[in-house]
Structure 1
């Protein structure tokens, strides 16, 4: 079995399928080595293109690991085992993560920095852009304010046209 390690930025790197029955088991990691997602597929580039166009976490992907397995059955078992034991941040199935907690507070700061940079955002932005349930978003913002990772910048007009509190995710040294 071939294991491939590469930066996603490497141009032209296409993982080659060793045989017609082989299935890829892949892992995506962020720049800090946090495991974001584990999946399987027959055609990695086509599958990853779907992730890129539809997953909010995709911009966080910094590198991947790919392992070709000789059959779908082996790949499905390996995927299940990896998700259960390694607990990737964005795998919902088999991971035991409640739907309302896709963005644990420990990772939310990082995602907001990547999504908004130094731009301002409000709680409604987190709800609509990241899909965080309203009550969860309010509590997580409060917790990140208490930790000094978010800063209240003031009020400005929100999407609703009302003045709402806006925040900035502060950089961490």
Structure 2
């Protein structure tokens, strides 16, 4: 099984620290398959190659770099809404399942659905439909950014002690 398709274009390299890429995948007929966002395209694309059924259709890619993740997220959202790639789920009006959870939107969804409530990673899995490994990895990134705060270990529904967190409001946001 070949994971890497034959693609055209030079390999993407980050122009400077802190830049985030918005990438597009096209098939051989130049149909837009997918738009994504990441800091390290080759690592992210490897993940797509392993778990996306459409990956063998990728014939070429395009990459645009943005100076901040927030700018890239907004560009990705607008591009998906306007360009309607075949396999995007979020912003394309297609319901997602747990294997397609939009991890870059975890903070916003957590604030919207859980507000100031203290939660465990199991709560994120159960209430937001996030795959367990993804919940762990993304919550770690959000803790490092100061958006999720560790509040302590407490007994969860299983009766075992589990780490619990709070999604901190952004500056100027009123608690919920």
Cα deviations by residue, 1:72-114 (Å, 9 ceiling, x for unpaired): 01000000000001000000111013569xxxxxxxxxxxxxx
SS in 1 for 2:24: strand
Q: Quick one: structure 1 residues 12 and 86, their matched pair in 2 at CA, closer, same or farther if it must change by over 3 Å?
A: closer
CA–CA distance in structure 2, aligned partners of residues 65 and 56 of structure 1: 20
Q: What is the CA RMSD across the aligned residues, in angstroms?
A: 2.1
Matches of residues 1-173 of structure 1 in structure 2 within 5 Å? 9=6, 13-98=10-95
- Point out 4+ residue stretches in structure 1 off by more than 3 angstroms: 10-13
Q: Give the drift of 1:58.
A: 0.1
Change in 2 beyond 3 A, CA 1:70/1:44: same
TM-score, with structure 2 as normaliser: 0.49
Shift of 1:16: 1.1
The residue matched to 2:71 in structure 1 has which SS?
helix
Report the TM-score when normalising by structure 1.
Answer: 0.50
Relative to structure 1, is the Cα distance of residues 10 and 57 closer, same or farther in structure 2, using a 3 angstrom cutoff? Answer: closer
Structure 2, unpaired ranges of 5+: 98-176
Offset at residue 35 of structure 1 (A): 0.4
How many residue pairs get matched? 93
